[in-house]
Amino acid sequence: MKIITLVENTEGAENCVAEHGLSLYIETEKHKLLLDAGQTDAAVKNAAVLGIDLSAVDTVILSHGHYDHSGGIIPFSKLNGSARIIMQRKAIEPHYNGERYIGIDKNILELPDVLLLDGDTKLDDELFLFGGITGRRCYPQGNRKLSCMRNGEKVPDDFAHEQCLVVTQDEKCWLLSGCAHNGILNILDRYTEIFGNAPDYVISGFHMMKRDGEHTGEEKAVIIETARELSEMNTVFYSGHCTGLPAFEIMKEIMGDKLIALHSGQRVI
């Protein structure tokens, strides 16, 4: 198995572009796939630098319906017109941060092999997708500004468009999420509900980034409690993108070697 961070907010491998976004390249015994595609064509450029042949990718999984995870799909499609592109049906709804549109490019829906899902789906014995995350403990505070258009009305986003990928390989389970808008602890609760135990590895943003000043006391409490609960698990976590450096550093102090930073071009395994 091979996992490489094609795009992340911070620079990693030499000559690889960093941008606010996320894209992971994954090779299993049966598949070559992407989880998300970043914001621009940076994933395509970085793949060329890293010697990754994107024309061989058979599946693209979109973790949720935001531009910084889906914007690279159109540039990718110019290299590869045969890959399945899989997302939850609600990912095509308009999404907003305040008044700013942050949803997907609707041209993606015109691509030849787009699959819209309604809930959990087992793709094969390696790949499983799940959503249905309804818990709200240690809920990311940054979600307060996010909304979606539903039935012609703007409503707070419930992130029903978010899905997580589970990869099973060599008797190990990898749980991958884009931003964990639903809260990483709630995602892990849902994972345990489905699989009966904890994953061996998790790769995910934690959606704790604060763009406008320092974290409030309430936000810090959520970060600290999340890190404490994660540190008690026999799981290794890789995180970056929307986690934000200040939050990552707070969590790293608590989690130690159980928390590893992602960077553009970095080989995870």
For residue 183, being part of any structural domain is answered with yes
Share of the chain above pLDDT 70, in %: 100
Q: How many whole angstroms separate alpha carbon 190 and alpha carbon 213?
A: 32
Q: How many whole angstroms separate alpha carbon 161 and alpha carbon 63?
A: 8
- 269 pLDDT above the threshold of 90: no
CATH number of the domain to which 216 belongs = 3.60.15.10
Region at 162 (left for phi over 0; alpha for psi -120 to 50; beta for the rest): beta
By residue range, what is the domain housing residue 243?
A: 2-261
- 68 pLDDT above the threshold of 90: yes
For residue 221, being part of any structural domain is answered with yes
For residue 269, being part of any structural domain is answered with no
Residues 88-98: what's their mean pLDDT?
A: 97
Reported residue count of the chain is 269
Q: How many whole angstroms separate alpha carbon 141 and alpha carbon 138?
A: 9
The structural domain count of the chain equals 1
For residue 246, being part of any structural domain is answered with yes
For residue 267, being part of any structural domain is answered with no
Q: What angle do CA 165, 30, 202 make, to 5 degrees?
A: 30
For residue range 240-259, what is the model confidence (pLDDT) as tens digits?
999 999 999 999 999 999 99
Residues 16-24: what's their mean pLDDT?
A: 98
For residue 256, being part of any structural domain is answered with yes
Q: Is 117 within 8 Å of 87 (Cβ atoms)?
A: yes
